[in-house]
């Protein structure tokens, strides 16, 4: 026969167990209070300084392409008014940043260029480390350049950009605009000793691949990393008022011509490695070396304006390894000089140089 008191016994047992648990918890809390008030201390949590060595090493890994110590920095812009030619310097910076507004197809000063701005290629008005900056302009010009075979001053170099990268016409070397741009570049390099090239000047040199740069792979990289700004057709994005580009065209009639420095594969790969896509820097590159080479191959395989370069490189032995147009002083093809692989060309030149 079922015991009628069994449910009550179970409830009573449960209540007794609960009472024992509460009593034990109360005792622990009282002990903790006494412990703390009598000078006791709880063990400290591990601080960052006590992290295991392996964890610290992972946290401190630097992934930049070059060490950041000693990297060139532009002079303090807030002090530019202390310069005797401050107005010219400021106008020069404005021209670099907003070239098309003054000198583009609808320029309010002259109509000379294709609508791109100098800082589309020379980032942050020529001040970004490894962003094709102007750090070494004042310290290294005038100089003899192998491309022309002549001594060139800063105005000549600026006009090279107008005629090649901006696919336009040369600017009057005595114009207010030329004087201003030269003043700005000289101000940027005012702390660089003559003859020296500071760390971070120009463009990063991406190591050569063991294969040729591949336009087919590059098209995939472009679709994933570039076309959201530069558009699927590579024509970039203009400002609403159509005066200049927010994101420049990478090929086609409004882009740089085939005489520009960025038409060389190594120059374009180095530029995107440390600056593209948007947000990348030399400290935090977003593309692998392979992706940089391949997207350069894709973009530079597209149609663009032509330039008469028949007078370039009078000494053909001084043509860069990746200059894409013959004749050459070696037996490698135009195809290989453009896309690579470049290591065999480099090795062949080193053999010749050693003789």
pTM value?
0.82
Nearest Cα to Cα of residue 265 among 290, 246, 245, 228: 290
CA 92 to chain centre: 23
As a whole number, mean pLDDT of residues 23-52 equals 50
Predicted confidence at residue 42, as pLDDT, reads 43
Predicted confidence (pLDDT) at residue 49 exceeds the cutoff of 90: no
Position 24 scores a pLDDT of: 58
pLDDT of 6: 58
Contacts of 36 (CB under 8 A, 6+ apart): 42
How is 166-190 classified by DSSP, letter by letter? S-S-PPPTTSHHHHHHHHHHHHHTT
**Tens-digit pLDDT profile for residues 151-204:** 999 999 999 999 999 999 999 999 999 999 999 999 999 999 999 999 999 999
Cα–Cα dist 85/180, whole Å:
9
- pLDDT tens-place string over residues 130-145: 999 999 999 999 999 9
- Segment 251-274, tens digit of pLDDT: 999 999 999 999 999 999 999 999
Which position has the token pair 């918890």? 25
Numbers of helices and strands, H then E, in the chain: 14, 4
Q: Is the pLDDT of residue 336 over 50?
A: yes
208 φ/ψ angles, rounded to the nearest 5 degrees: -65, 145
- Averaged over 291-311, what is the pLDDT? 98
DSSP codes joined into one string, 133-162: -STTHHHH-SEEETTTTEEE-HHHHHHHHH
CB 204 within 8 A of CB 65: yes
Q: Which domains does the chain have, with CATH numbers?
A: 77-188 (1.10.760.10), 203-306+315-355 (1.10.760.10)
């Amino acid at each position: 026969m079922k015991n009628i008191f069994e449910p009550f016994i179970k409830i009573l047992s449960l209540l007794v167990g609960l009472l024992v648990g509460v009593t034990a918890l109360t005792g622990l809390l009282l002990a903790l209070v006494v412990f703390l008030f009598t000078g006791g201390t709880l063990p400290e949590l591990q601080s960052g300084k006590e992290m295991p060595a392996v964890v610290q090493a992972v946290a401190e890994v630097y992934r930049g392409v070059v060490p950041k110590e000693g990297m060139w920095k532009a002079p303090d812009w807030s002090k530019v008014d202390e310069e005797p030619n401050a107005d010219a310097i400021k106008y020069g910076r404005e021209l670099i940043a907003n070239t098309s507004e003054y000198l583009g197809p609808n320029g309010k000063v002259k109509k000379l260029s294709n609508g791109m701005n100098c800082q589309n290629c020379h980032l942050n008005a020529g001040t970004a480390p490894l962003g094709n900056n102007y750090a070494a302009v004042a310290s290294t010009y005038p100089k003899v350049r192998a491309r022309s075979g002549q001594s060139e001053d800063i105005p000549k170099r600026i006009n090279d950009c107008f005629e090649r990268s901006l696919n336009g016409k040369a600017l009057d070397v005595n114009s207010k605009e030329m004087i201003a741009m030269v003043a700005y570049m000289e101000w940027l390099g005012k702390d660089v000793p003559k003859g020296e090239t500071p760390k971070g000047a120009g463009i990063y040199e991406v190591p050569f691949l063991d294969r040729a740069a591949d336009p087919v792979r590059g098209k995939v990289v472009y679709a994933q990393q570039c076309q959201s700004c530069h558009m699927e057709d590579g024509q970039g994005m203009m400002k609403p008022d159509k005066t200049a580009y927010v994101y420049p065209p990478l090929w086609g009639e409004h882009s740089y011509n085939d005489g520009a420095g960025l038409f060389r594969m190594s120059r374009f790969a180095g530029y995107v490695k440390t600056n593209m896509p948007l947000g990348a820097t030399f400290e935090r590159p977003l593309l692998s070396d392979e992706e940089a080479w391949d997207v350069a191959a894709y973009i530079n395989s597209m149609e663009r304006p032509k330039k008469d370069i028949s007078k370039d490189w009078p000494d053909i032995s001084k043509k860069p390894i990746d200059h894409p147009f013959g004749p050459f002083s070696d037996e490698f093809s135009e195809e290989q000089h453009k896309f690579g692989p470049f290591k065999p060309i480099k090795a062949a030149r080193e053999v010749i140089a050693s003789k």
